[in-house]
A and B are shown apart, each in its own frame.
Chain A
């Protein structure tokens, strides 16, 4: 077997043979997966987890129809905890459940997949979901980074940075803040240092890429 891709895939299905078949299929594509026989089992493992807990890209294959807590209910539970953003959910469904699954997609599920036609098309969707997850995590990490760097700035440096991002030249910044151009230059170089950027354009990109 080839080295596995660094990602977590959760399969939640009450049917053991289906779970194992999917795990096998994913493993054949170098994807490692964790299986749960019910929504409650998944909840037990992730009780108390919030959105920041998962740093690896991940996704979930979720059966709609299960005894006890249904797939939809688990999906709602994930939405409540904002986990569905970092963990795209692909619903597994029979014919009868298609309208339900469509509805779930409308509410934010990544996709649904009708049994039994899943095989490699399904794995492709899983990879896309993982990419989605990774992108989301990256953005979130970046935002966290920016937030962390911003906390190091002083009040005045933050003002200068805001005007810099807005594209104002030093002179106008000095006017606006009623300080000398020299002072602005000092603040500006400190902002660049603390934000780990080399230019104003880079700073603007950094700030624009974040959630703020």
Chain B
């Protein structure tokens, strides 16, 4: 059908990208063009000259590219250059990390401090670069979980099964800002369809998100990784100060011989900091303007 919206998805083989492509393909109005460095449509999304012809084949673009901080910035610059003068809808997957080291309820008007390390800084800078694109919609998801989410489902499940995390006490009091990957995909669809979303930013995090402790305890129970362990401050120090650097070294070495994914996941200090950081994304705007309904997390834990 010729009247379908052709949507170029950058980072289409990534975890979020794959779900976006699937969700687009399941509609009767969109036709995804799945692009990635090594995907069906091979494309270097940090290269303007490669992006320009690809954009000519598309009506809209979803930027779900996840990569190193340098590449994320290069990607944003290339995208801005390629889109110059083209009022094409761009849905950009930013992150809660763009807000940086802030606590309390955070709405979309908060400045993007990006002061939580290189990833956080790159996320903030990428948004800053892409803000000039007339039809850009910024989606700022919290922690994306759901079937096979490497960061917030499979890694957490491995750590819970190994009883390396569980009830973390004061170290797990932060709000998780979890958002199900299906809800992120729905947000992308809505952002593509709704004209008034242009130029807007939206936090994506379920309403009344659990604390990390609540999430870990419920998840461990769903996995049968019981009884849930209380992890003391001493053990967490050992994880971040001794085990994490060692595992990181092993991971780099292991990657060369293809064993990296068999290694236990490290708990770096940044992760521990996140679990304590009581940032609470307010996502009423996404509910209101994108018509989102949040997947119930206890249901998702039972189902996924």
A and B assemble together? no
Query: Which chain A residues have a beta carbon within 8 Å of chain B's beta carbons?
Result: none
Query: Which chain B residues have a beta carbon within 8 Å of chain A's beta carbons?
Result: none
